[in-house]
Chain A
């Protein structure tokens, strides 16, 4: 009897349902639980109050990324609350027996950067973390999603979660990306199309030629921002690119276990004839570098385009647009390119991996950042930092007048002292441009590492194709 064709989401789901009572959500087994300092302390308190231990410390791993300073790690942490929070995660991990990649560890970093680079993130897994950008791990063909602190406590206590099965949403990205256009532009274009609530209740599966051509780092960038499109998770079926990335990594299976794992992973991709609840097609050939102009990630346009006029949007969205533009100090209908900048931030779980560092360095090599601009380059992990330094990228950034920091979430969430000042404009490779996200009163343009680096050179929002095409040693003037 032929089996019903299934999507990759349905296969992973079916593979992890432990039990389901009528009327109740399914009990879903969790393969890997990632923990960081900000959303976990109250969950550990809950465990203590219940007198419970952690059920599976070997399927749990912790790091410190959100509130940790990116300055010289030998300096004391100035912010007393951050210092206490960082001490708390260390103590909780010691007490409950959780492996901790903390301050001073060469494997510390943003939780969504270290999981993949350590080989902990693997196809077919269920992966959760008290962080909405857990969707990143979906790049490996895992079902990975963010959870709240109550759910963290549940996973610590039971290694399962109560979940209702999400709907499926296929995002086909056809064709081939043009030079200067990257993974960040795909995801910003998707969110601009469907809005930040467009994927609510669904899990995205990204398919087709433009996705297949992406490296693992780029796939992580796409999946990372699934949540900005409203989907709690986004995934990409594993293929040879996935296996090549994972092979030999510290926690990846070895020897015969590797062969068995790859054989299992090859069965994950969506079957021919499987159906999705929704589908959207994005023409990859026609994508351009994207920049956001507003106060949510769906308010984005091509860097060559204009901020919408009030008449361009539906009547119901006009208030939102007017409020956003008032906060941003921008005019409806004006060009996005050429907007003056104060700060450039290159980093985060969206774009803080080694390829992002290389992309930014490729633009900044032999060039200098614009006068008066503050440019922060923050690697996503200590391993990314070490790799970048071994390639001399830190020297490229310093020579260009940018700051090169220790790893962490940094200015993406502005909890560690790295932040925009009120009224400042920053172009950022991170994932959220909400009001105050990067510092009280700060104003964010989201963009790719290439676009951010090009803008760092000119001091204004800049189409990277105007610089990438030019000889890298030539002087470049602001336009």
Chain B
């Protein structure tokens, strides 16, 4: 369960590249955990460290002291491509990211992000280019991402609206998750199941029923 979340005010980290896949966000060898601990250290690990484990020179953006504590990411198209690992949004959240602005997000990543109160904010290609230029010229400007109002406000005071799944928005604003909602529908689920027998029984010996 997460805390209710409505807005974040932060400076921005810009990664102007497209197709950032989940193997970059959280490499597979960090998936051997059985909990969610220490994932902040795994974030963009191979961009930060050489294969023999040395910190890269110059350091990756994520390790630049100026970027510490920033909570908004600005990224290229199709962010989160690849695997279904929820470790990717867990790692981003653990590091401190609360909102990602891009022209598109991979489907599974987007769903996983929303379930972790990490906001995938979709903008047009023109807007992305303008925002990237803005961060390049004013790297220390603070943006406000407001989930309640569904707006992003830039340092100039100018703001733009964004769309987000209304159901996910309600869940995040309330700090709740979906299991309680669906469990409240159990009578409907049971009624459906009564008229739709299970197609398969995975337990041994049940095949010849």
Do these two chains interact?
A: yes
Interface residues of A (CB under 8 A from B): 18-19, 23-25, 27, 29, 31-32, 38-39, 41-42, 45, 50, 56-61, 66-67, 79, 81-82, 84-85, 88, 98-99, 119-120, 122, 124-125, 130-132, 134, 145-151, 153-154, 157-160, 162, 164, 166, 195-197, 200-201, 227, 230-232, 250-252, 254, 257, 296, 316-317, 319-320, 323, 413-415, 422-423, 432, 434-437, 440-441
Given contacts A60-B202, A320-B19, contact A25 B167 (CB under 8 A): yes
Find B19's partner among A29, A147, A296 (CB 8 Å cutoff): A296
Bound Cα distance A435, B107 (Å): 21
User: What does DSSP make chain A's interface, helix, strand, loop or mixed?
Assistant: loop
Would B107 and A200 count as touching, CB distance under 8 A?
yes
Q: What per-residue 1/0 map shows which CB atoms of B54-97 lie under 8 Å from chain A?
A: 00000000000000000000000110011111100100000000
Given contacts A61-B202, A414-B29, contact A196 B46 (CB under 8 A): no
Q: Which of B4-12, B133-141, B185-193 contacts A (4 or more CB under 8 A)?
A: B185-193
B157, CB-defined interface residue at 8 Å = no
Bound Cα distance A228, B179 (Å): 29
Find A42's partner among B34, B78, B189 (CB 8 Å cutoff): B34
Bound Cα distance A432, B179 (Å): 32
B14, CB-defined interface residue at 8 Å = no
Contact residues in B for A130 (Cβ distance below 8 Å): 84
Contact residues in B for A423 (Cβ distance below 8 Å): 51
Bound Cα distance A154, B84 (Å): 15
Bound Cα distance A148, B109 (Å): 8
B200, CB-defined interface residue at 8 Å = yes
Contact residues in B for A85 (Cβ distance below 8 Å): 32-34
29 contacts between A and B (CB under 8 A): A18-B192, A25-B165, A39-B84, A58-B198, A58-B202, A79-B32, A81-B32, A82-B32, A85-B34, A124-B199, A125-B200, A148-B89, A148-B115, A150-B86, A150-B116, A154-B179, A157-B183, A196-B81, A197-B19, A200-B78, A200-B104, A230-B107, A257-B209, A320-B17, A414-B28, A415-B28, A422-B51, A435-B24, A440-B51
Would A23 and B166 count as touching, CB distance under 8 A?
yes
Q: Which residue of A lies closest to B186 (CB)?
A: A158
B206, CB-defined interface residue at 8 Å = yes
Bound Cα distance A422, B108 (Å): 29
Contact residues in B for A160 (Cβ distance below 8 Å): 182, 189
Find A18's partner among B34, B188, B202 (CB 8 Å cutoff): B188
Find A413's partner among B28, B52, B81 (CB 8 Å cutoff): B28
Would B200 and A132 count as touching, CB distance under 8 A?
no
Would A432 and B51 count as touching, CB distance under 8 A?
no
Interface residues of B (CB under 8 A from A): 16-19, 21, 23-24, 27-29, 31-36, 46, 51-52, 77-78, 81-86, 89, 104-108, 111-112, 115-116, 165-167, 177-179, 181-183, 185-186, 188-189, 192-193, 196, 198-204, 206-209
Contact residues in B for A134 (Cβ distance below 8 Å): 84
Closest Cβ–Cβ distance, residue A212 to chain B (whole Å)? 25
Contact residues in A for B207 (Cβ distance below 8 Å): 119, 250-252, 254
Find A415's partner among B31, B78, B108, B203 (CB 8 Å cutoff): B31
Bound Cα distance A124, B81 (Å): 27
Given contacts A85-B32, A120-B202, contact A148 B188 (CB under 8 A): no
Would B182 and A158 count as touching, CB distance under 8 A?
yes
Q: Which residue of A lies closest to B113 (CB)?
A: A148
Contact residues in A for B34 (Cβ distance below 8 Å): 41-42, 45, 84-85, 88
Nearest 9 interchain pairs by C-beta: A197-B78, A422-B51, A41-B34, A148-B112, A81-B32, A148-B86, A146-B84, A441-B51, A150-B115
Closest Cβ–Cβ distance, residue B15 to chain A (whole Å)? 12
Would A437 and B28 count as touching, CB distance under 8 A?
yes
Closest Cβ–Cβ distance, residue A65 to chain B (whole Å)? 13
Bound Cα distance A32, B203 (Å): 12
Q: A39-B31, A436-B24, A437-B28 are in contact. List 12 more A-B contacts (CB 8 A).
A: A27-B185, A39-B84, A58-B198, A132-B83, A150-B112, A153-B179, A154-B182, A157-B182, A196-B81, A230-B107, A319-B16, A435-B46
Bound Cα distance A230, B28 (Å): 19
Bound Cα distance A59, B189 (Å): 15
Given contacts A99-B204, A434-B21, A440-B46, contact A31 B198 (CB under 8 A): yes
Contact residues in B for A413 (Cβ distance below 8 Å): 28
Would A39 and B107 count as touching, CB distance under 8 A?
no
Contact residues in B for A82 (Cβ distance below 8 Å): 32
Of B31, B32, B33, B207, the most chain A CB neighbours within 10 A belong to B32
Would B189 and A27 count as touching, CB distance under 8 A?
yes
Given contacts A148-B115, A320-B19, A436-B27, contact A57 B189 (CB under 8 A): no
Would A67 and B200 count as touching, CB distance under 8 A?
no
Closest Cβ–Cβ distance, residue A21 to chain B (whole Å)? 8
Closest Cβ–Cβ distance, residue A148 to chain B (whole Å)? 4
Would A296 and B21 count as touching, CB distance under 8 A?
yes
Bound Cα distance A159, B185 (Å): 12
Bound Cα distance A56, B107 (Å): 27
Would B86 and A39 count as touching, CB distance under 8 A?
yes
Find A45's partner among B18, B29, B35 (CB 8 Å cutoff): B35
Bound Cα distance A132, B106 (Å): 11
Contact residues in A for B33 (Cβ distance below 8 Å): 41, 81, 85
Would B200 and A122 count as touching, CB distance under 8 A?
yes
Bound Cα distance A376, B33 (Å): 27
Bound Cα distance A66, B104 (Å): 29
Q: Which residue of B lies closest to A98 (CB)?
A: B202
Bound Cα distance A371, B171 (Å): 59
Bound Cα distance A147, B83 (Å): 9
Find A232's partner among B107, B116, B199 (CB 8 Å cutoff): B107
